């Protein structure tokens, strides 16, 4: 009981509640610089708290369910941010979903993977993982990205890089089917492919500390829901300031999507790096590729549904530069995961690809 009481008084419990009060005080108001800064701090802190509570729930249910819980929680936040900012209108709202989803794919497949490989290989010399599980996840990422972000560039039913209504419905349905199939594969049919391996390449079950009690898990689940709702509201309050900040920095308005993806995926990046430091590279890859799959597989259907009442066109097609980056990322990722082991070199290559994406996002 004392343990639960201490948990209730921790910052991860108090901050979402404080942020909820702040949301109530700022909703529908025009904010000055100081309130905007406070909302930004509360938003970032609430995202961290949400991911913490997702990790507590994940710890209770075990792997690979844990990685799935965290990926879905992060993606719900991402989708909420995209929809609320698109609903508020503003410059380039019609491409916000594309920019954010593509940024999430590049950050997960190059940033999280590259940093995890670099940290893990630096500590252990060589990292090992299941090529079957990681390869299947990568194939799903490549298929989802191509169907949802590349094909709209080449379709001719509607002007611009967008889908017609039937095409969008197909892309949304295919995304849901692929996501559901991947989840079933990861958690039921081939669960062993997504568990960590030792240096002999043998699957080993996770060795966790004592899992949290059912009471603590229930508290975290409630706080996770509160955090998600609060993040949605604070994002709506903060969206004008984010767009204004990007303009003031002289960056393209499409960089707003990169800012959202960086904000949302920062906690998950830390979780993946921690797993790599503990020689659990498979968990790092589960987080990276699982987040990319969830980002596309859940965002596109929600955006397709929201497009019924959102104003303006929905432009999903990537430009030539981003298509080249995506194709290169898929090729390099295949060469990384197929052997089932990697060194610092592969990590460095992925991080250079991420750096190239960021440079071109700031200076197209």
Instruction: Give me the residues paired with residue 82 across strands.
Output: none
137, 149, 143, 138: which is closest to 101 by C-alpha?
149
361 versus 237: which is more confidently predicted? 361
Query: How high is the pLDDT of residue 2?
Result: 47
Distance CA 261, CA 326 (A): 16
- Given a contact cutoff of 8 angstroms between Cβ atoms, the answer to whether 246 and 256 are in contact is yes
Place of tokens 């199939």: 181
Q: What are phi and psi of 126, to 5 degrees?
A: -155, 140
Domain annotation for the chain: domains and CATH numbers: 1-362 (1.20.1420.30)
Give the pLDDT confidence of 269-295 residue by residue, as tens digits.
888 888 898 888 988 998 899 889 988
For 68-123, the pLDDT digits (tens) are 776 777 777 777 777 777 776 655 677 888 888 899 999 999 999 999 999 999 88
120-133: string of b/e by CB count within 10 Å (b at 16+)?
bbeeeeebbbbbeb
Q: What angle do CA 346, 323, 342 make, to 5 degrees?
A: 10
The model's pTM: 0.83
Lowest mean pLDDT among 140-144, 165-169, 257-261: 257-261
2 burial type by CB count under 10 A (0-12 exposed, 13-18 middle, 19+ buried): exposed
């Amino acid at each position: 009981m004392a343990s639960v009481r201490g948990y209730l008084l921790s910052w991860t419990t108090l901050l979402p509640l404080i942020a909820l009060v702040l949301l109530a005080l700022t909703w529908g108001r025009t904010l000055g610089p100081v309130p905007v800064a406070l909302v930004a701090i509360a938003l970032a802190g609430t995202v961290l708290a949400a991911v913490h509570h997702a990790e507590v729930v994940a710890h209770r249910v075990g792997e690979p369910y844990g990685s799935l819980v965290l990926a879905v929680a992060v993606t719900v936040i991402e989708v909420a941010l995209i929809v609320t900012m698109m609903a508020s209108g503003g410059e380039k709202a019609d491409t916000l979903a594309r920019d954010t989803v593509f940024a999430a794919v590049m950050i997960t497949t190059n940033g999280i993977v590259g940093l995890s490989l670099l940290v893990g290989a630096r500590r252990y010399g060589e990292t090992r993982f299941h090529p079957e599980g990681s390869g299947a996840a990568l194939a799903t990422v490549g298929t989802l990205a191509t169907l949802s972000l590349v094909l709209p560039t080449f379709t001719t039913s509607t002007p611009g890089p967008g889908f017609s209504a039937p095409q969008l419905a197909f892309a949304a349905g295919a995304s849901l089917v692929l996501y559901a199939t991947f989840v079933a594969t990861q958690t039921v049919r081939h669960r062993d492919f997504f568990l960590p391996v030792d240096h002999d390449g043998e699957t080993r079950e996770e060795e966790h500390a004592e899992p949290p009690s059912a009471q603590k898990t229930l508290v975290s689940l409630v706080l996770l829901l509160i955090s998600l709702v609060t993040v949605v509201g604070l994002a709506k309050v903060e969206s004008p300031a984010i767009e204004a900040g990007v303009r003031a920095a002289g960056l393209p308005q499409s960089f707003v999507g990169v800012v959202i993806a960086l904000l949302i995926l920062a906690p998950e990046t830390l979780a993946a790096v921690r797993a790599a430091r503990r020689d659990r590279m498979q968990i790092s890859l589960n987080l990276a590729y699982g987040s990319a799959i969830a980002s596309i597989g859940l965002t596109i259907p929600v955006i397709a549904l929201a497009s019924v009442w959102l104003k303006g066109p929905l432009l999903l097609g990537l430009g030539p530069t981003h298509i080249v980056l995506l194709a290169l990322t898929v090729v390099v990722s295949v060469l990384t995961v197929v052997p089932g082991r990697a060194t610092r070199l592969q990590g460095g290559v992925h991080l250079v690809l991420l750096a190239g994406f960021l440079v071109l996002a700031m200076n197209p």
